Amino acid sequence: LCSYGSMEKYKAPRRIRTVGDNCLIGASGEYSDFQSVMDTLEGMVQDDVNYDDGEKSDAKSIHSYLRAVMYQRRSKMNPLWNDIIIAGKDFLGYVDKIGTTYEDSFIATGFGSYLAIPILRSKWRPDLTEGEARALLEDCLRVLFYRDCRALNRIQIAKVQGDDDAVVSDPYELETNWSGFEATKGDMDGDGGW
């Protein structure tokens, strides 16, 4: 979901994209800044093609490059207002608008760091199968839809495993079950008041 203040303006934006065929980039924050970052990265991929020397940018070097860019922009007091996740073969990293970086087995931005990370910390195992991993992510996104009033239940899941198989799914809707929330409704008395 791409919001315009509190207006749900674009309901199915591409917030996860591939870079080359071996890297995934996902971003929160200012969508236009994300688009600008993608333009730069696509230029980088084209440069690799033009050099024609067998070298291909991998997720790690893209992560390092974005770090340098984000930190430089923040130092010039003109940041790219994004929190970015970079994924590739054997790599998962994070860069934010002030150039902070970290790598971990699971990463989240925005509300996800408050709501999804505890779930992931509890449920993640190094030997998760793909199906289990997808289900885990869907559970996290579901909770985010329940609890973040600026979220939608339309999501995308992306996967990358080897050197050339990065792929992003089409947007699809998560199934939700609001029956458990009846208890929180409280006594409305017709006006939802205190």
Partner 1 sequence: KSSKKADFVAMHRNMYDTDVTVFSPEGRLLQVEYAMESTKQGSACVGLRSENYVVIGALKRSVNEMSSHQKKLMEIDGHMGIAIAGLTADARSIAKWMRNECLNHKYVYGSAMPSKRLCEELADKHQRTTQTYVRRPYGVGLLVAAYDEATGPHLFQTCPSGNLYEFYATAIGARSQSAKTYLEKHFEGFPSTEKDDLIVHALKALSGCVTGDGELNKDNASIAIVGKDHKFQLIEGENVAVYLDKLEVDGGGTEGGGDGDAMEE
Q: How far apart are CA 17 and CA 105, in angstroms?
A: 20
Taking CB under 8 A as the criterion, which residues in 66-95 touch partner 1? Answer: 68
Q: CB–CB of 83/97 below 8 Å?
A: yes
Residue 76 beta carbon to partner 1: minimum distance, rounded to whole angstroms: 16
| Of the residues 12, 13, 21, 60, which one makes contact with partner 1 according to CB under 8 A | 60
Q: Does 63 bind partner 1 (CB under 8 A)?
A: yes
- In a 3-state reduction of DSSP, which class is residue 185? helix
Q: Give 88 or 112: the residue with its C-beta nearer to partner 1.
A: 88
Q: Give 32 or 46: the residue with its C-beta nearer to partner 1.
A: 46
Proportion of the chain in helix, strand, coil states, percent, rounded to 5: 40, 20, 40
Q: Which two tokens stand for residue 137?
A: 């992510």
Which amino acid belongs to residue 133?
A: A
Give Cα separations from 31 to 13, 73, 79, 83, 153 (angstroms). 9, 16, 13, 11, 19
Q: How many of the chain's residues bind partner 1 (CB under 8 A)? A: 12
Site mask, partner 1, residues 16-55, x = CB under 8 A? -----------------------------------x-xxx
Stretch of 61-69, 80-88, 106-114, 116-124 lying at the interface with partner 1 (CB under 8 A): 61-69
Q: Does 146 bind partner 1 (CB under 8 A)?
A: no
Q: Which two tokens stand for residue 54?
A: 């067998």
Q: How far apart are CA 44 and CA 21, in angstroms?
A: 13
Q: Is the dihedral of CA 177, 182, 188, 189 positive or negative?
A: positive
Stretch of 31-39, 64-72, 104-112, 123-131 lying at the interface with partner 1 (CB under 8 A): 64-72
- The footprint of partner 1 (CB under 8 A) covers 51, 53-57, 60-61, 63-65, 68
